[in-house]
Amino acid sequence: MKAWDAIIIGGGHNGLVNACYLQRAGLEVLVVEKNDWVGGAATSRELTPGFLYSNCSYVCSLFRPEIMRDLELPRFGLQVISYEGGAVFTRDGDYLANYRDHDAHRREFARFSKRDAEAYDRYARDVTRQCRFIQPLLMRTAPDPTSLRPRDLGELLYLGKKFAGLSAEEMALTLRFWTMSISEFLDEYFETEVIKANFALSGIIGTALGPMSPGTAYVLLHHYMGEVDGSVGAWGYARGGMGAVTKALAASFKASGGTIRTGAEVDHVLVRRGKAKGVVLAGGEEIYGKLVVSNADVKRTFLKLVEEKELPDIFLRRVKNFKIRGSSGKVNIALDSLPEFPALPKDSPVYRGDMHFTDSMERMERAYDDWKAGRWSADPFLDMVIPTTLDPTMAPPGKHFMSCFVQYAPPKIGGREWTDADRDGFAESVIAQIAEYSPGFRDRIVHMEVRTPREIEAEVGLTEGNIFQGELTFDQLLFNRPVPGYAQYRSPVGGLYMCGSSTHPGGGVMGAPGRNAAAEILRDLAKSTSHMSPAHDVI
Amino acid sequence: MNQQSATNPSGRIAAQNHFRTLRLGTPFQPRIDALARTRDWYNWAGYRAPHSLWDEELEYFAIRSQAALFDISPMTKYRIEGPDAEALLNRVTLHDVTKLKPGRVHYTAWCDDEGFVLDDGTLFRLSPTRFRLCSQERHLPWLLDSAVGFDVIVEEETEAVAGLALQGPTSFAVLRDAGFAGVERLKIFDLADFPHDGGTISISRTGFTGDLGYELFVPAGKALSLWDRLMTSGELRGIRAIGYTALNRARLEAGLIVANADFTTAEHAIRADRLRMPDEIGLGFMIDLEKGHFNGRRAILEARAKRKLRHVLVGLEIEGNIPAEHAIVYHKKAQEVGLVSAAMWSPMAKRNIAIASLARPYGDTMVEDLWVEIYAMRELQYQKLMKRAKVVARPFIKLDRRTANPPADF
C-alpha cells in the first residue's frame, strides 16, 4: 500500500506552508482537510451570491514575506493592500482616527490631548525597539534550554547575546513588556482614555484577558511586528479576502506536485510502537505516511487525534492545561450599500480602515467582565473593517462586505453549550452597537454569518474558537510553546510533528510555525533546506 | 504645574477637518506661495515649507549680500511661564538659566536622565518669569513631566506664534527703515519687544546663518502685516524671501548642527547606539556642572569620568571641491571611523567643508591621516574619490558684521 512521505492534517495556512516547503524539498506530500475547502481560519467563502466573506481572519500583516517569496505566492494570485488606519468612535459624537501621515496623526491626537499627541513618538520608539528584538526570533526554532545539543546551546547563546545587547533600561523594558498589562504600559505614555483604548485593542484581540490583565502588553507587540512590504506594523487586506492567502498556498502546493484531499476528516493518527504511521479518516479509510504533521491545535491533536496511552503523563497534563480559551466571535455582513457614520466626514479615509466603538479602558475591561461571568459582552469590543472599500473583488460595485471581529465571547454560556438563540443574541449585541453609530444600518444588511466559538470550533476545528491556537502569554511563548520540552515542532510520538499556531511563534496568519516545522522535519530527514529563505535582516 | 486639558467636544469636532490638509500653510503662506516660482516644497513638521522659491544658489547669496527672509513658523515653540519657570528650565536644560537675563537668548540643549540629547534649541527669556523654548522636535510630555512640583505653565504655542528669520548684512537697515525704533541697541543674543500693527512682536538678534541677523516672533494674526512691512522697507535693501536649501548652506558655514540631521534625538533613536551625549555632538560647552542638578547630569559626569564618551562631532576641511555629503570617514584610508552628516563647498570660506561624527579617539585625540570616500554620481557612474580630511574648528566662517555694534548700516 502507498505510503506518503508526509501527511499534513489540516489545510490551514500553516499546514499548507508546511506542505509547500516539504513538497518542494522533494517529498511526496498529502494534505487532508475535513472541510470541502482549504484555508482553515484563512478562508474566503461566498455564502450569499456575489459576496465573498473573510470568514475568520480578516486582515493581513504578520504573514512572513520570506514565505510569500519562497513559495511564489504572488504568482499564484496573492496581493496584500495596505490600508489607512481606522478610528475609535467616541460616545460624544466624535472619533479618534489613526492617520498614516505622521503629522496628521499628531494633530488628530492633539484634538484630545496636546500632551498625548507629543507622547506618541516615544511610545512608537519603545514599541519599535521591542518589535526589533522579537522579529528575528520568529523564523527560528526556539532553543530547548534543558538540552546540551550544540544547536540548542547556539540558539540559547543567540538569545542571550540579543538580550545582553540591550541597555539596562531596554532589558527592564523588555521584561516588563513581556509580562505587564497593556493598560499599565499605556499609562506610562498617555493620559487620555480614548487614546489608550485606541492602542489597547491590539493587546486583547484573540486573548481571553482584559486590558488590565498582566501579559496583554506582549499581545500588542504580536500585532505590531508584522509588515506590509517593509512597512513594519502596517496592516493590509488580502485582495479577495484572507482566503486568497490559502488559495495561493494551495495553488503553489499543487503546482509543485502536492496532493490535497478535502472532505477528509481525520479520526485519529495511526500509531504503531510509538511511531506515527499515517492517519485514519472518519470513514475508516487508512492512509499511510512516513510522517504525520498536525496543523490542528495542540489540544485537538493530542486529546482527540492521538490515543492517551501513547503519550507521557506530564506531556498530557500540560496539553490539557494549555490555555486556549475561546474569547471571540465573528460577524460577517453583506451590505447593499456603504454604511454611513454621521460622526465621520463622508470623505474620511477611516471608512477604509479599522473601526472601533470602545472608547475607554473601563468599557473594554467591563466587556471582559462579562466573559468571566460566562456571558457574551453586552457592550462588546468590535474590530470592524469594510475591505470592499479597497478590494473590488469581494462584492458587486456599490455593495460591501463588512467584517466584525467581536470580543468577548465565552466558550460556554453560563457553563452550558451555546444555543442558536444565544448566537442570535450575540449577533444582536453587535448589530445594536453598530446601529447606534450608524442609523439605518440594519436596513442595509443583505446577509449575515454569525460565528460564536461554537461555530468556529465546529467548522475550523480551533479548540474553543481560540484564534491563536493558544494564548500568547509569556508562559506559553518561545521554548514553552506549546509545552516545555516540545517546543521544536516534534512530539512524544515519533514521526508526529506539530506545525500550527500552538507552536512558536504563535498565532495570526504568519506562516512561521508551518515554515519552522518544515525546517525541523527536513533536518530530521537530513534533507536540504536551501529552498527556505532565512529571515530578512532587521537592520 | 498646569496641564493643557482636553478640549471640549465642540472644539474638538470642529478640528476634525485637518485630515484634508496634510501639509498646513503657515500664517505667511499667502505671501510665500505668491513668490514660489519653483514650487519646490518639503514637509517641515507638517507644514508645506519651501526648499527653494526661485533659485537655491541665488537665495544663498541673498543671505550673504543683502537680507533674506525665511519663515520659521513651523519651529516648535513652548511658552514656559510662572514663578518657577527659571528653576524648571534650569533643571531641564544644560546651561545655567539663572545667568540668562530677561531680554536675552541662549542656544541650549536638554537631555534625558541617561544624559542623551533630546534636542537642541534656543531659549528666549521674555521676562523674569516668561520664557520661549524653540526646537526642532516636540517635547510637551517631557516638559510637563519635568514640571511636576514647579509653579509653572507649559504651553505649546507653535501655531499661535509665527516666526521669521531676517538674515544678512542689510537686515539691520531693513528693520530700522521699517520703523522698529531702538532695534540698533540689540546686541547679539539680545531680545526686545516692539510695537507692530496695534500689537507687540519680539525681535532678537539671533539666527542660524552666522551672519548679521534677527528673528521676529509675531502673533499669527499679525503675520502678514509684518511680512509686508519688512518687504516694503527692504525693497531698496535687496530683501528676498528664501527657502531651506539656502539657509541650510549658511548654517553649515556657521558650523551649526541640525537635530535629526547631524545627530539623532533620543526620543527618535530606535537603535541604542545612535544615542548621543552633549559631549559627543559638540555641545559639551553648554554643560554647567556648577549650577546644581539638571536632567542627565549624573550620567554625563559618569561618562566623562569613566571615559565612556564614544563619539565626537567635528568640523572637517576636505581637499578638493566635491561635497562629501554622507561620505564615510576613514583612518589611513582603511579603517572606517565615522560619517559626514553635512557637507558643501563654502562660497564664503572657499573651502570644502563638512560636519562629521567620528568614533573616538578619532577626531578627538587622533586627528591625523583622516580621509573621506566620496561617491560622486556623474552621468550614471560613481566617481570614487578618496580625499584627505582635516579636523578644523567650527564655525567655518566668522563674520565681524554678525556681532558688530552698532550693527552696520549697508
Complete DSSP assignment for B12-41: HHHGGGGGG-SSBPPTTHHHHHHH-SS-EE
Q: A224-241 burial, b for 16+ CB within 10 Å, e for fewer?
A: bbbbbeeeebbbbbbbbb
| DSSP 3-state of B378 | strand
Residues 6+ apart with CB under 8 A from A312: A492
Q: Which residue of B has its CA nearest to A102?
A: B46
| DSSP 3-state of B194 | strand
Interface contact flag, B9 A92, Cβ < 8 Å:
yes
Q: Are B248 and B322 in the same domain?
A: no
Angstroms from B144 CA to nearest CA on chain A = 8
- The C-alpha atoms of residue B139 and residue B137 are separated, in whole angstroms, by 7
Q: How far is CA A44 from CA A243, A450, A456, in A?
A: 4, 15, 14
- The C-alpha atoms of residue A344 and residue A351 are separated, in whole angstroms, by 8
Q: Are strands A381-385 and A354-356 parallel, antiparallel or unpaired?
A: antiparallel
pLDDT grade for B1, boundaries at 50, 70 and 90: very low
For residue B136, being part of any structural domain is answered with no
Q: Are B240 and B387 in the same domain?
A: no
* Domain hosting residue B48, numbered range: 9-75+159-253
Q: Are B241 and B362 in the same domain?
A: no
Location of C-alpha cell 520570506:
A66
Q: Are B218 and B276 in the same domain?
A: no
Query: Among B218, B253, B288, where does a domain finish?
Result: B253
Do A501 and A508 contact (CB within 8 A), yes or no?
yes
Interface contact flag, B15 A111, Cβ < 8 Å:
yes
Q: Are B280 and B364 in the same domain?
A: yes
Phi-psi region of A409 (alpha: psi -120 to 50; beta: other; left: phi over 0): beta
Q: B232-253 burial, b for 16+ CB within 10 Å, e for fewer?
A: ebbeebbbbbbbbbbbbbbbbb
Counting residues of chain B whose pLDDT is more than 90, the rounded percentage is 97
For residue B93, being part of any structural domain is answered with no
Do B172 and B162 contact (CB within 8 A), yes or no?
no
> Around Cβ B55, how many Cβ atoms within 10 Å?
17
- The C-alpha atoms of residue B308 and residue B290 are separated, in whole angstroms, by 21
For residue B102, being part of any structural domain is answered with no
Cis preceding linkage at B395, omega within 30: yes
For residue B398, being part of any structural domain is answered with no
Of the candidates A95, A104, A113, which has its C-beta nearest B6's C-beta?
A113
Q: Of the candidates A139, A10, A17, which has an alpha carbon nearest to the alpha carbon of residue A72?
A: A17
- The CATH number linked to B329 is 2.40.30.110
- The C-alpha atoms of residue B401 and residue B213 are separated, in whole angstroms, by 9
- The C-alpha atoms of residue A292 and residue A284 are separated, in whole angstroms, by 17
- For the cut 70, the answer to whether the pLDDT of residue B5 exceeds it is no
Q: How far is CA B160 from CA B82, B164, B207, B293, in A?
A: 19, 14, 21, 33
Side by side, which strands form the sheet with B161-167? Answer: B191-196, B199-204, B213-219, B161-167, B67-71, B239-241
Q: Which residue of B has its CA nearest to A167?
A: B272
Chain B residues within 8 angstroms (CB to CB) of chain A: 3-4, 6-7, 9, 12-13, 15-20, 22-23, 43, 45-46, 114, 137-141, 144, 156, 267-270, 272
Residues 6+ apart with CB under 8 A from B198: B222
Q: Are B169 and B64 in the same domain?
A: yes
Cis preceding linkage at A492, omega within 30: no
Interface contact flag, B7 A111, Cβ < 8 Å:
yes
Best A122, A173, A191 member to test B by mutation, with max B CBs in 10 Å, is A122
Q: Compute the C-alpha angle B178/B181/B183, nearest 5°.
A: 90
* Cβ contacts of B22 on chain A, cutoff 8 Å: 101, 103-104
* Cβ contacts of A118 on chain B, cutoff 8 Å: 138-141, 156
Q: Which residue of B has its CA nearest to A194?
A: B6
Q: Which three cell numbers stand for residue B17?
A: 477637518
pLDDT for A135: 87
- For the cut 70, the answer to whether the pLDDT of residue B280 exceeds it is yes
Q: Which three cell numbers stand for residue B245?
A: 536649501
- For the cut 60, the answer to whether the pLDDT of residue B4 exceeds it is no
Best A90, A95, A102, A107 member to test B by mutation, with max B CBs in 10 Å, is A107
Which residues share a beta bridge with A402? A333
Whole-model pTM? 0.95
Do A461 and A40 contact (CB within 8 A), yes or no?
yes
For residue B149, being part of any structural domain is answered with no
What does the CA dihedral B353, B356, B362, B366 come to, rounded to 10 degrees? 20
Interface contact flag, A125 B268, Cβ < 8 Å:
yes
Q: How far is CA A248 from CA A253, A294, A453, B131, in A?
A: 8, 20, 27, 62
pLDDT tens across B35-79, in order?
Answer: 999 999 999 999 999 999 999 999 999 999 999 999 999 999 999
- The C-alpha atoms of residue A318 and residue A323 are separated, in whole angstroms, by 10
Do A382 and A374 contact (CB within 8 A), yes or no?
no
pLDDT for B217: 98
Residues composing chain A: 539
pLDDT for B3: 42
Residue type, A358: T
For residue B240, being part of any structural domain is answered with yes
- For the cut 70, the answer to whether the pLDDT of residue B385 exceeds it is yes
Interface contact flag, B270 A128, Cβ < 8 Å:
yes
pLDDT grade for B2, boundaries at 50, 70 and 90: very low
Q: Are B193 and B341 in the same domain?
A: no
Q: Are B171 and B316 in the same domain?
A: no
For residue B405, being part of any structural domain is answered with no
Min mean pLDDT across A23-32, A144-153, B250-259, B274-283 is at A144-153
What domains lie within chain A, and their CATH numbers?
3-43+60-80+239-322+470-524 (3.50.50.60)
| DSSP 3-state of A211 | coil
pLDDT tens across B187-220, in order?
Answer: 999 999 999 999 999 999 999 999 999 999 999 9
- The CATH number linked to B211 is 3.30.1360.120
**CA B340 to centroid of chain Cα atoms:** 19
Of the candidates B9, B141, B268, which has its C-beta nearest A93's C-beta?
B9
- The C-alpha atoms of residue A112 and residue A197 are separated, in whole angstroms, by 13
Q: Which helix (H) or strand (E) holds B377?
A: strand B370-378
Chain A residues within 8 angstroms (CB to CB) of chain B: 92-95, 97, 99, 101-104, 106-108, 111-119, 121-122, 125, 128-129, 132, 166-167, 169-170, 189, 192, 345, 347-349
Q: Are B331 and B206 in the same domain?
A: no
Of the candidates B4, B22, B267, which has its C-beta nearest A114's C-beta?
B4
Q: Which helix (H) or strand (E) holds B64?
A: helix B56-65
Location of C-alpha cell 472619533:
A95
* Cβ contacts of B49 on chain A, cutoff 8 Å: none
Interface contact flag, B4 A192, Cβ < 8 Å:
no
Q: Which helix (H) or strand (E) holds A37?
A: none
* Cβ contacts of B272 on chain A, cutoff 8 Å: 129, 166-167, 170
Reported ipTM? 0.94
Residues (pLDDT < 70) of chain A are: none
Report H helices in B256-326. 297-305
Location of C-alpha cell 516615544:
A122
For residue B108, being part of any structural domain is answered with no
Q: Are B218 and B309 in the same domain?
A: no
Angstroms from A119 CA to nearest CA on chain B = 6
Phi and psi at B192, nearest 5°, equal -150, 160
Q: Are B183 and B281 in the same domain?
A: no
Report H helices in A165-287. 168-179, 182-187, 193-204, 216-224, 243-255
Best B20, B140, B153 member to test A by mutation, with max A CBs in 10 Å, is B140
Counting the structural domains of chain B, the total is 2
Question: What's the burial of A247, exposed, middle or buried (CB within 10 Å: 0-12/13-18/19+)?
Answer: buried
Q: Are strands B40-44 and B47-52 parallel, antiparallel or unpaired?
A: antiparallel
pLDDT tens across B327-343, in order?
Answer: 999 999 999 999 999 99
Residues 6+ apart with CB under 8 A from A125: B267, B268, B269, B270
- The full DSSP string for A99-122 is -SSHHHHHHHHHTT-HHHHHHHHH
Residues 6+ apart with CB under 8 A from A527: A25, A26, A27
Q: Are strands A6-9 and A292-294 parallel, antiparallel or unpaired?
A: parallel
- The C-alpha atoms of residue A198 and residue B300 are separated, in whole angstroms, by 37
| DSSP 3-state of A293 | strand
Q: Are B246 and B351 in the same domain?
A: no
| DSSP 3-state of A358 | coil
Report H helices in B125-254. 140-146, 171-177, 223-234, 244-253
- The C-alpha atoms of residue B273 and residue A130 are separated, in whole angstroms, by 15
Q: Of the candidates A324, A323, A343, which has an alpha carbon nearest to the alpha carbon of residue A86?
A: A343
Best B3, B7, B10, B19 member to test A by mutation, with max A CBs in 10 Å, is B19
Query: Among B253, B282, B312, where does a domain finish?
Result: B253
Angstroms from A64 CA to nearest CA on chain B = 22
Please measure the distance between the N-terminal and C-terminal CA atoms of chain B and give it in whole angstroms: 48
* Cβ contacts of B12 on chain A, cutoff 8 Å: 94, 111-112
Of the candidates A93, A103, A118, which has its C-beta nearest B46's C-beta?
A103
